[in-house]
Amino acid sequence: MNKNDRFVKKITPKSVDFSRWYTEIIQKAELADYAPVKGMMVIRPPGYALWENIQQLLDKRIKESGHSNAYFPLLIPESYLQKEAEHLEGFAPEVAWVTHGGHEELEERLAVRPTSEAIIGTMYAKWIKSWRDLPVLINQWANIVRWEKVTRPFLRTTEFLWQEGHTAHETKEEAEKETLMILSLYKEAVETDLAIPVIEGKKTEREKFAGALETYAIEALMTDGKALQMGTSHNLGQHFSKVFNIRFEDRNQNLQYAWQTSWGVSTRLIGAVVMAHGDDSGLKFPPKVAPIQVIVIPISVGDWKETVLPSAQNVESVMKKAGLRVKLDDREEFTPGWKFSEWEMRGVPLRIEIGPKDIKEKQVIAVRRDNREKEAIPFNALSQRVPEILQKIQESMFEEALKFQRENTHELHNYEDFKAVIEAKKGFIKTLWCGDPACEEEIKEETMATIRAVLMEKEEEKIQGKCVHCQKPSKFLVIFARAY
């Protein structure tokens, strides 16, 4: 495309068509584009830069918690998956198969990994022989292929990027501690880095990971009132270790099966950032993960190249020395107003404007993306003040999202109210449930709402009462929502 043909196009308002707004902004902000293969996407540089920032912050947390990165093969022999029938059945409709190598038909089909429990379990059986070999704490950053029928960029695609942790432990208690520790780690990362508040809880039997003893998850509320599962942590028990014969000699010289966990988050987090924070003007990135944190725009009037541009370049240099991700937009073919609109659409947290009047005053004008507040900053205060503003933006974005979550969480105990709210307002519904999967399924069929989390409340009085649907005695306090 010729640069002269580029302009900031109007975006469909969120209130008019949220789905269309979402796909338009992803393409116009160049986060991703559709690939030739149905359901696959190309992650473009701005989108990949966002993923890299998320990845680096999370990877640091994972390593600090005692885990190491490794890499396992993309292709998994069919017989490895067949060993665990329940696991294979859970993924069977989504598995992509390799049947030929070159022109030769393979003797055994190879699955393109839908997840890696089978191949990693096989390797752990080779490596783990004694209690001294435990715990094994390994994570991998990889791509996954699941042949999805309905896809949407970042939220559900045939191929996506993720991290998957796989650990092995001596005892059930250690595995459960690991599972909950990772859940807490995910919650902290999403809330601190992405500025998205989440609820945490356990999945029901019908919603849990195939083959898991327990599945825990963090769930966030998007601004269209739908829930998005942000990450999961699974206590696999001894299920896979018995299938793949992961045994070790314990401290009493008896053979025991290892206790395992697995856990992961994916490029779905990018979709969450778009939907949780974006507005009718475009993206709105939290500073901690924004590809560009500060955009510097010189006001191009008169002989601006001689009078304004040098000062703008100096501002850029100061920002770089302060350790910030900064870009100077000195393109001649676009007006300052056009640039303001474009970088606002691209979600840059802070815009710095500098013109002839500012140079005389020895200052710049800083404009926040989140609330559009303006502030004059003296040249000599830039390296201190700009990081402070970015931190305030980060905190403000989280508080705004938390306010939205609270205002759209409804505590209800009448099923007619439940149906009315889920249809009109959506959001989270906090209510009581009997624990019967049949009751859970009936609610889903009637309202399209599912149990996103069984809340891990300790106080017994919070779960005393009757099920919102069948009016039997309740066993659990849960969050229902329609979800992606």
Sorted by where each begins, the domain ranges of the chain are 3-72+120-277, 294-393, 409-481
Q: Which pLDDT does position 236 carry in this prediction?
A: 97
DSSP state of 462: G
Question: Which listed CATH number (3.30.930.10, 3.40.50.300, 1.10.3720.10, 3.40.50.620) goes with 3-72+120-277?
Answer: 3.30.930.10
Phi, psi of 350 (to 5 degrees): -140, 130
Alpha-carbon distance 162 to 144, whole Å? 7
pLDDT tens digits, the chain, 484 residues: what are they? 344 344 456 789 998 999 999 999 999 999 999 999 999 999 999 999 999 999 999 999 999 999 999 999 999 999 998 887 776 677 778 899 999 999 999 999 999 999 999 999 999 999 999 999 999 999 999 999 999 889 999 999 999 999 999 999 999 999 999 999 999 999 999 999 999 999 999 999 999 998 899 999 999 999 999 999 999 999 999 999 999 999 999 999 999 999 999 999 999 999 999 999 999 999 999 999 999 999 999 998 888 999 999 999 999 999 999 999 999 999 999 999 999 999 999 999 999 999 999 999 999 999 999 999 999 999 999 999 999 999 999 999 999 999 999 999 999 999 999 999 999 989 999 999 999 999 999 999 999 999 999 998 765 567 789 999 999 999 999 999 999 9
What's the pLDDT at 2?
42
CATH of the domain spanning 409-481: 3.30.110.30
Contact 268, 160 (CB under 8 A): yes
Distance CA 330, CA 309 (A): 8
Which residue type occupies 429? I
Instruction: Give yes or no for a contact between 69 and 140, defined as CB atoms under 8 angstroms apart.
Output: yes
Strand 68-69 and strand 136-145: pairing? parallel
**CATH assignment, 294-393:** 3.40.50.800
Which secondary structure element, helix H or strand E, spans residue 20, and what is its range?
A: helix 18-28
AA letter at 363 = Q
Structure confidence at residue 419 (pLDDT) = 97
Strands 326-328 and 294-298: parallel
Residues in the chain: 484
The CA distance from 370 to 366, in Å, is 12
- Write the DSSP assignment of 32-76 as a string of letters: EEE-SSTT-EEE-HHHHHHHHHHHHHHHHHHHHTT-EE----SEE
Helix (H) or strand (E) holding 137: strand 136-145
CA distance 154 to 307: 44
Give the pLDDT confidence score for residue 4 in this predicted structure.
39
